[in-house]
Amino acid sequence: MSKDHTSSIFENLALEAKNCEDTSMIAIGDVSRTLADEAYARIRTAMHSGQLEPGQRVRFSDLQALTDTSVTPVREALARLTAEGFTELEGHRGYRVAPVSSEDLWDVLKNRQQLESEALRLSIELGDEHWEAQLMSAHHLLSRMDRERADLPTAVDEQWEQRHEAFHEALIAACQSRVLLGFCSQLSARANRYRRLSISAPPRDIKTEHRLIFEATIQRDAVTATALLRDHFERTARMVDELLKNKW
């Protein structure tokens, strides 16, 4: 066998080994990101459910037990949650769940009103029949359920929560701006912390509110639809603000 041929064989083997190493590193990275995403989702769910209360300090060991992961995914999840305003880093004292306040509530609300109204206006202007079909389906599924659990009226039905989120996402899905949708998603998640507190507020006809927003949107009446959406958000904020004054 010639030296050139032998050299070529070794070069090919080295290249294959390098490819395997790169693939392995990518796979490990993918697993790490998946674990961090799962840890993020579980911690945020615990905040929404009240398992982790506003202002509560959180320890890595507790979050590892909660998420069933190691410290690295928890650290990555906390970094993401802090960037999004759900947790706060208090120097050497560690992390705590971000507190709730009237000031923060109204700050989130005003910005959400501005951005989602614009996203809805653009969706009405640019959306096609496929968007309409998606919106009709989302509204139909939402309208078939009550927000409260039948077995526990003081608790939110998580399936309703999923359908509610899907409806509001469908309203603005055709705005054709990823940046705008990204900001709307962040504000929606921040607002969701507060909205879940309103389950203990006096009952309101939220099904009718959703129906009116839906009908104005399908009729391509941007002025009415955006006004209804802004009012829908503000009704919730007013109810939550009253609860904050009494509890926090």
What is residue 20's predicted lDDT score, i.e. its pLDDT?
46
Q: Which of 97, 127, 154 is the last residue of a domain?
A: 97
Q: Count how many domains the chain has.
A: 2
Average pLDDT for 116-142:
98
What type of residue sits at position 147?
Answer: R
The model's pLDDT over 176-199, given as tens digits with 9 standing for 90+, comes to: 999 999 999 999 988 988 887 776
> Is a pLDDT exceeding 60 seen at residue 16?
no
Q: Same structural domain for residues 46 and 153?
A: no
pLDDT value at 238 more than 70: yes
Q: Give the pLDDT score at 35.
A: 84
Q: Do 35 and 134 belong to one domain?
A: no
91, burial (CB in 10 Å: exposed 0-12, middle 13-18, buried 19+): exposed
Least confident of 2-11, 17-26, 29-38, 223-232: 17-26
pLDDT tens per residue across span 90-128: 877 789 998 889 999 999 999 999 999 999 999 999 999
- Look at residue 85 and tell me whether its pLDDT is greater than 80: yes
CB atoms within 10 A of CB 152: 9
Q: Report how far residue 189's alpha carbon sits from residue 183's, in angstroms, rounded to the nearest whole number.
A: 10
Please tell me the predicted confidence (pLDDT) of residue 39. 87
Residues 140 and 197 in one domain: yes
Radius of gyration of the chain (CA): 24
Q: List the domain range (segments joined by +) for residue 151.
A: 102-247
Residues 166 and 237 in one domain: yes
Higher pLDDT, 201 or 99: 99
What are the tokens at 119?
A: 């996203």
Count CB neighbours of 4 within 10 A.
8
List the beta strands (DSSP E) in 62-202: 87-89, 95-97
pLDDT of amino acid 235: 94
Examine the domain organization and report whether 122 and 194 are in the same domain.
Answer: yes
Q: Quick one: pLDDT at residue 117?
A: 98
Task: State the CATH number of the domain containing residue 77.
Answer: 1.10.10.10
pLDDT number for residue 155: 55
Choice between 98 and 201, residue whose per-residue pLDDT is larger: 98
